[in-house]
Amino acid sequence: MHTRNVRWWLPLASLAQIVFAQFAIVTTAPAQTLDYDVLEQIFHEPVTASATGEPQRASDAPVNIEIITQDDIRRSGATNLPDVLQYVSGVDVRRYGVADAEVGIRGYNQSYNPRLLVMVDGRQVYSDDYGHVVWASIPVQLDEIRQIEVIKGPNSALYGFNAVGGVINIITFDPLRDKVNVATLRGATPGSANGSVVGTAQLGDQFGLRLSAGGFRANDYPAGDLSPANAQNRQSALIGAFNLDTRVRLAPGVEAYAEATMGDNRYAEESFTGSFDTQYSRTNSLRVGLSADTSIGLLGFNAYRNEELVSIGVLSPTFDGWGRESVYVLQASDTLKPGADHTLRFGLEYRNNAATSPLFIQGTIGYEVYAANAMWDWRITPRLSFTAAARVDDLHLHYSGTLAAGSGLTLDDYNHAGFVVPSFNAGLVFRVTNQDTLRLMVARGVQVPSLIDFGLQFPLGAAGPVVVAGNPDLHPSIVDNVELDYDRTLPVIGSTLRAAAFAQRNTDLISQPLGAPLTISMAGLPLLLAANVGDSDAIGTEIGIKGHSASGFRWNASYAFVVTTNNTVLAQGPAATNAVNYANGAPRHVVTGGLGYTWRGLELDLMGRWQSSYRDFASNGLSISVTPVNIDNYLTMTARAAYRLTDNVTVSLTAQQFNAPLLMQTAGPLVTRSLIGAVSVHY
């Protein structure tokens, strides 16, 4: 058993990001406290704090980051976040239902993808129970998003566990500085409707409050070739969300904030076993925080709680007996500048994650994490900067309940388990000329096992003629990444050219219990025990161009390539039990492009995505076995036309996947063409 003889955690010195001299402060509070409008007017490009926790223009960030603006979101015609992300280079979006999608970055996408950390204004919306993101339950309306920041590659040193494939931080408008009042109503074929409203109230420059609410109802895609059991278990999607965000300026340099969200969702989803069911979930969150500019630096304090209740509706129409997950996070940081060319940041974090289920876990599985991080930002010359960050996480596992009979595990195995693990990021940014920038980056990310990986409990007969159990002795997966990027501005054609090449090593990959290799327990029973199952390598490249002209035209085009290996025992042969194959589980080639035009009140946009074939998995009707399904290359295209009737009213028509009525994008149901009509009213 992997245990600790000594409990320890301590701050580490490290290097942090470039901060331009024009910035008056460095902030570690949630990213939306930045005055984006002012900074973007100064630098004439998007500004971010997601790469390092401090404000900088995106072109100077020592990570590969792509920023999707509110204008981009509007022009996409999308009704949900995955549809916005599908045209981003290096991002893989898989549709398993009208409200069920999996999103990955640079390969390694899968059902219940555990490798992508998603946040809203720095608050985690990643679910630790099964280790995935439920996109339909994120309680944010598209109209209240300022920008979506997509970081490609590991960034655990700043964000902690599971920021290994990348990070997506959704930044909403600041209620203290931005006034957003808009209502949108959409109707779509083949039978869906959704609406949202966002309202902001402000009291001078001292107080701001934003409220938003939205709802979505849609018939799901036709069942097609799904088995009768999977087909009858799917129900139409019904989703509702409410969000409150408030900020108060208590004194010069001192701000307090509070946020609260609620969501109620029903949607058909594909599980990690390739089967389909309807899931009900209720989510709520509460966050409070404070930032203060003091003589000892900029202090930041942040605390939040996420809670999720889950039920599988076909088997149980209520939440009793299914699952509850809770996450408590406390964070504190101090950012200071000991000189004009140096910035230091130190942080501490406490995290308590727990999941309770009388059925799946037969009790409660959880862990506490104590973490410390530090950064040092050194602007070596006006054209050269070096950034690094380091973090140490100390995890303590605990379990209470009834262990699966026959697994051979004891309560002592669980309650004396854990690990200490470091992560780091480092980047060298060299502005060769005013038009050319080079970045060299090295990073180590950490993927922690999910709570189900640690604590699933199915005794003999509950899931077939085997014992199924989580494993308290799992090691975290480690992702080491090295990357070289090149940016060149092309002012003659109003464009920016971006290129990247990366190599990655993934070790101690984790198999969830139901897909683990079959072993024999100490009691002589067949056993599926969550395990570390091997490693995988990946290499890839991306190149793209994006620009616009004064005449109203805009354009973008990109190509992404990634190839991965599968040095594991997973998904081998016709009797595969795990719906993962790292070598063939991602398209090697993806081409995206877009063309748009704005003239007075008219907006026209055309977007397309082509990707090569890959291998997915579907349930074959057995409880622990899946069938490989080859997904051929395909092209999907979206067109949108919008017209501003008045200064306050805009109407639009979007045709999603207009090039094909039905398209096989995954092993799930065929994706259906959709026509979306919308009207937005600003008030």
CATH number of the domain that 240 lies in?
2.40.170.20
**Mean local confidence (pLDDT), 29-49:** 68
Q: What pLDDT shows up at residue 478?
A: 97
**Mean local confidence (pLDDT), 307-314:** 81
Q: What pLDDT shows up at residue 226?
A: 79
Q: What pLDDT shows up at residue 574?
A: 53
Q: Which residue has the tokens 């600041």?
A: 174
Query: Does position 633 have pLDDT exceeding 50, yes or no?
Result: yes
Q: What pLDDT shows up at residue 25?
A: 35
Average of per-residue pLDDT values in the chain: 88
Contacts 24+ apart (CB under 8 A), 199-203: 200/173, 200/175, 202/175, 202/176
Full residue range of the structural domain in which residue 540 is found: 31-682
Q: What is the CA radius of gyration of the chain?
A: 24
Q: What is the pLDDT of residues 386-438, one digit of tens each?
A: 999 999 999 999 999 999 988 889 999 999 999 999 999 999 999 999 999 99
Q: What pLDDT shows up at residue 110?
A: 85
Distances (CA, A) of 547 to 487, 559, 571, 595: 13, 16, 42, 10
- C-alpha 212/C-alpha 181 separation (Å) is 9
HEC profile for 139-172? CCCHHHEEEEEEEECCCHHHHCCCCCCEEEEEEE
Which residue(s) pair with 457 in the sheet? 469
Instruction: Work out the pLDDT band at 48, boundaries 50, 70, 90.
Output: confident
Tell which wins on pLDDT, 144 or 668: 144
Instruction: Work out the pLDDT band at 40, boundaries 50, 70, 90.
Output: confident
What amino acid occupies position 483? E
Instruction: Work out the pLDDT band at 2, boundaries 50, 70, 90.
Output: very low
Instruction: Work out the pLDDT band at 62, boundaries 50, 70, 90.
Output: confident
**Mean local confidence (pLDDT), 375-395:** 94
22 lies in some domain? no
Q: What is the pLDDT of residues 17-31, one digit of tens each?
A: 333 333 333 333 454
661 lies in some domain? yes
- C-alpha 148/C-alpha 164 separation (Å) is 18
Q: What pLDDT shows up at residue 395?
A: 97
Query: Does position 12 have pLDDT exceeding 60, yes or no?
Result: no
Q: What is the pLDDT of residues 142-165, one digit of tens each?
A: 999 999 999 999 999 988 889 999
Q: What pLDDT shows up at residue 509?
A: 94
159 lies in some domain? yes
Instruction: Work out the pLDDT band at 4, boundaries 50, 70, 90.
Output: very low
Residue 404's Cα: distance from chain center in Å?
A: 32
164 lies in some domain? yes
Structural domains in the chain (count): 1
Identify the top-confidence range among 244-248, 295-299, 582-586: 244-248
Q: What pLDDT shows up at residue 320?
A: 57
Instruction: Work out the pLDDT band at 264, boundaries 50, 70, 90.
Output: very high
Burial-class residue 495 by CB neighbours within 10 Å (0-12, 13-18, 19+): middle
Q: What is the pLDDT of residues 435-475, one digit of tens each?
A: 999 999 999 999 999 999 999 998 877 767 888 999 999 99
Q: What pLDDT shows up at residue 279?
A: 86
Q: What pLDDT shows up at residue 419?
A: 96
**Mean local confidence (pLDDT), 547-554:** 95
17 lies in some domain? no
Token representation of residue 118: 């998603």
Q: What is the pLDDT of residues 558-616, one digit of tens each?
A: 999 999 998 887 765 555 667 788 888 899 999 999 999 999 999 999 999 999 999 99
The separation between the first and the last C-alpha atoms of the chain, rounded to the nearest angstrom, is: 61
Instruction: Work out the pLDDT band at 621, boundaries 50, 70, 90.
Output: low
Q: What pLDDT shows up at residue 16?
A: 32
428 lies in some domain? yes
Tell which wins on pLDDT, 111 or 196: 196
Tell which wins on pLDDT, 12 or 659: 659
Q: What pLDDT shows up at residue 81?
A: 96
Token representation of residue 355: 């999941």
Token representation of residue 456: 């699933």
Q: What pLDDT shows up at residue 102?
A: 94
Percent residues over pLDDT 90 in the chain: 70
6 lies in some domain? no
182 lies in some domain? yes
- C-alpha 54/C-alpha 18 separation (Å) is 9
Q: What pLDDT shows up at residue 11?
A: 32
